[in-house]
């Protein structure tokens, strides 16, 4: 039970830019709000932008971490709802990367007035394989072994998933620059967030999304195949799928120019 | 001394590679360019079988993710990566936990050395299991220490602790806050007439009712005996009185024998900074007044 200021402090909320329309930018697993820095300078010319860190990431207040609350994505969605309420935000455009696309969807379904549109960058509602009808990319044993190795190596998510999310063809310089800028976090929190992300199945949720949704998918993404993007687009009532000819899971960092105009146009379009 | 017999420029002759650890070199495209004898003697690969193949063939999928997402960035930044726990396959597809050290050369080749870490892996498993058990137990103990066993509401200690926090917060945001003491009327008579089991049952029912009726942000506790304490943050005097009116009606739904359960409520409302003890004693005064005025009613503390 925190008041507005305490919530904004807990999630290290930053407001930048100018514009009557507000964009709410939610980072993905293994990152913090800095991951948006390749998009924000241009977007800030057109919109007011809300940036934040999930509890346990970046410069959030780690003392507010609760294993119970954040053991499921719903806990992270509560963060988003509370931030919007603290800022008295309605009708914003939600932009989420990877797992945050789903976290945003949970918030948008629970409080439909908060967001008028959703933009998902490399989303996946489920990383698990359920052959033959759905292939999320991983068998359960592999993901459990991955979580187990996270435990045993006891490293924060500092550089986790960096090149994987960027695709293996990115240059070493880019990998170095991006991975070095990723935040470092408590290993146990990292592992719990990974478990909430990788072992969940939110496919059922997609049909409940009422907001128009723009989906960016990478042509070659080890974490979310294009078939996953097609599945999401087919489930959401009013959606557009935009497959970018690129490698990796971090299009907003590796190919910001490919997303920029579409994001601006989609956010400005009257729905 | 043997060494004395060695000539200055002559190297001692060793048996072919007998190191009890793996050594591996991969090129910048992750292609294996060298493996030592350990791969044939211990991991059962055929001699030469691995050269020219992708290192992916050796690692499990989760280890490949670590390889790509942690090891490579660390090597790019630090040039060396030490003590990574990974899992490799031997030629028969068995998973073998290993501890890896790796370094990267200027031309981008990675030099790997690793040891079988099966025993250490078991220890890690036990440690992780123990940590999870301890966390779970701590959670249970915390819940036991903060909950009233009979009603599952907050207990006295937890109520005092949380109320103090809520009061501090209310003072900071200048919110009005209400404290209610609810005391079941003639509870002793219920116990004497129907027995303690029925008395407990009444307390349980009232506990459930209060829990269902309160808002998520309200603090609801069994403060002792037949006394319940409720703190309603951000609630005005008129809203509190409405709350109490509805509460009196609801409580009557609980039947004891042929009669309806009744309770007296003492209320104290604060808009300024106040201590829990002071607010409690004000509400207690109001409760006393409610009882003196015939019970089954709510009284609000008024400063004399």
Higher pLDDT, A252 or A165: A252
DSSP state at residue B190:
H
Q: What is the per-residue burial (b if ≥16 Cβ within 10 Å, else e) of A85-103?
A: ebbebeebbbbbbbbbbbb
Backbone angles phi, psi at A40, to 5 degrees: -65, -35
Give the model confidence (pLDDT) of B29-41 as tens digits. Answer: 889 999 999 999 9
How sure is the predictor about A163, in pLDDT bands with cuts at 50, 70 and 90? very low
Higher pLDDT, B111 or A157: B111
ipTM for the predicted complex comes to 0.73
Pair B266, B284: CB distance under 8 Å? yes
Query: CA nearest A179 in B: which residue?
Result: B73
Nearest to A164 among B65, B121, B217 (CB): B65
Range B104-125 average pLDDT? 94
Q: Do A164 and B68 touch (CB under 8 A)?
A: yes
| Gap from B202 CA to chain A (nearest CA, Å) | 31
Domains of chain B in sequence order: 2-121 (3.30.450.20), 145-300 (3.30.70.270)
Give the model confidence (pLDDT) of A200-209 as tens digits. Answer: 999 999 999 9
In the numeric block, the tokens 């299991």 are attached to B129
Residue of A149, A155, A184 to mutate, testing the B interface (most B Cβ within 10 Å of its Cβ) = A149
Mean of pLDDT over chain A: 87
Burial class (CB in 10 A: 0-12, 13-18, 19+), A72: middle
Distance between CA atoms of B107 and B25, rounded to whole angstroms?
A: 12
Q: Which range is least confidently modeled, A123-127, B1-5, B162-166?
A: B1-5
pLDDT in the model for residue B10: 62
Strand, helix or coil for residue B116: strand
Give percent of chain A with pLDDT exceeding 90: 61
Q: Where are the alpha helices (DSSP H) in chain B?
A: 2-5, 38-41, 61-66, 72-78, 118-146, 156-172, 187-194, 196-213, 237-251, 276-292
Distance between CA atoms of A209 and A213, rounded to whole angstroms?
A: 8
Q: Do A67 and B135 touch (CB under 8 A)?
A: yes
Give the model confidence (pLDDT) of A22-58 as tens digits. Answer: 999 999 877 788 889 889 999 999 999 999 999 988 8
Q: Torsion angle of alpha carbons A215, A218, A219, A220, nearest 10°? A: -140
Pair A170, A247: CB distance under 8 Å? yes
Pair B193, B257: CB distance under 8 Å? yes
Range B92-114 average pLDDT? 95
How sure is the predictor about A178, in pLDDT bands with cuts at 50, 70 and 90? low
Range B133-139 average pLDDT? 90
Q: Which range is least confidently modeled, A135-149, A227-241, B33-47?
A: A135-149
Closest to A229 measured CA to CA, from A240, A238, A22 = A240
Range A131-137 average pLDDT? 92
Give the model confidence (pLDDT) of B191-237 as tens digits. Answer: 999 999 999 999 999 999 999 999 888 999 999 999 999 999 999 99
Higher pLDDT, B121 or A178: B121
Pair B181, B228: CB distance under 8 Å? yes
| Fold for the domain defined by A4-268 | Rossmann fold (3.40.50)
- Enumerate the active-site residues of B: 226
Q: Do A165 and B166 touch (CB under 8 A)?
A: no
Query: CA nearest B82 in A: which residue?
Result: A153
Range B150-170 average pLDDT? 94
Backbone angles phi, psi at B29, to 5 degrees: -95, 15
The reported pTM is 0.74
In the numeric block, the tokens 């791969």 are attached to B39
Give the model confidence (pLDDT) of A109-129 as tens digits. Answer: 999 999 999 999 999 999 999
A227: tokens are: 């078939």
């Amino acid at each position: 039970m925190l008041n507005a200021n305490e919530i904004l402090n807990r999630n290290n909320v930053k407001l930048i830019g100018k514009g009557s329309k507000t964009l709410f930018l939610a980072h993905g697993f293994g990152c913090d709000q800095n991951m948006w820095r390749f998009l924000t300078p241009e977007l800030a010319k057109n919109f007011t932008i809300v940036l934040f860190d999930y509890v346990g990431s970046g410069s959030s207040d780690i003392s507010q971490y609760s294993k119970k609350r954040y053991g499921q994505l719903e806990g992270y969605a509560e963060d988003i709802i509370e931030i919007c309420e603290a800022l008295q935000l309605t009708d914003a455009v939600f932009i989420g990367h990877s797992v945050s696309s789903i976290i945003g969807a949970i918030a948008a379904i629970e409080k439909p007035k908060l967001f008028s549109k959703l933009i998902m960058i490399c989303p996946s509602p489920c990383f698990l394989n359920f052959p033959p009808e759905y292939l999320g990319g991983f068998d359960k044993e592999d993901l459990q072994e991955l979580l187990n190795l996270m435990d045993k190596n006891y490293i924060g998510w500092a550089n986790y998933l960096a090149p994987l999310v960027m695709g293996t063809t990115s240059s070493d310089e880019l990998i170095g620059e991006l991975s070095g800028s990723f935040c470092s976090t408590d290993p146990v929190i990292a592992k719990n967030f990974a478990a909430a992300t990788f072992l969940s199945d939110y496919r059922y949720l997609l049909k409940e999304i009422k907001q128009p949704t723009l989906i960016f998918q990478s042509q070659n993404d080890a974490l979310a195949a294009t078939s996953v993007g097609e599945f999401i687009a087919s489930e959401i009532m009013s959606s557009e799928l935009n497959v970018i000819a690129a490698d990796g899971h971090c299009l907003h960092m590796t190919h910001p120019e490919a997303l920029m105009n579409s994001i601006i146009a989609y956010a400005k379009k009257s729905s | 001394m043997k060494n004395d017999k060695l000539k200055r420029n002559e190297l001692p002759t060793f048996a072919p590679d007998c190191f009890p650890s793996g050594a591996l070199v991969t090129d910048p495209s992750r292609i294996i360019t060298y493996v030592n004898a350990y791969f044939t003697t211990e991991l059962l690969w055929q001699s030469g079988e691995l050269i020219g193949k992708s290192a992916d063939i050796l690692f499990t999928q989760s280890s490949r993710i670590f390889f790509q997402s942690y090891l490579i960035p660390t090597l790019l930044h630090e040039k060396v990566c030490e003590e990574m726990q990974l899992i490799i396959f031997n030629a028969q597809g068995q998973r073998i936990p290993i501890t890896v050290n790796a370094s990267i050369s200027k031309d981008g080749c990675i030099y790997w050395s690793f040891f079988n870490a099966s025993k250490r892996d078991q220890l890690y498993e036990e440690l992780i299991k123990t940590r999870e058990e301890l966390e779970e137990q701590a959670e249970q103990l915390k819940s036991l220490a903060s909950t009233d066993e009979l009603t599952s509401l907050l207990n006295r200690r937890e109520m005092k602790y949380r109320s103090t926090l809520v009061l501090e917060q209310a003072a900071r945001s200048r919110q009005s806050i209400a404290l209610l003491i609810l005391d079941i009327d003639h509870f002793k008579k219920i116990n004497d007439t129907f027995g303690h089991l029925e008395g407990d049952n009444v307390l349980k029912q009232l506990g459930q009712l209060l829990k269902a009726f309160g808002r998520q942000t309200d603090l609801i506790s069994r403060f002792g005996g037949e006394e319940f304490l409720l703190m309603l943050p951000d609630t005005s005097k008129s809203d509190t009185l409405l709350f109490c009116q509805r509460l009196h009606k609801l409580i009557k739904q609980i039947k004891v024998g042929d009669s309806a359960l009744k309770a007296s409520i003492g209320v104290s409302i604060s808009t300024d900074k106040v201590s829990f003890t002071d607010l409690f004693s004000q509400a207690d005064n109001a409760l006393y007044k409610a009882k003196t005025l015939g019970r089954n009613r709510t009284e609000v503390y008024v400063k004399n």
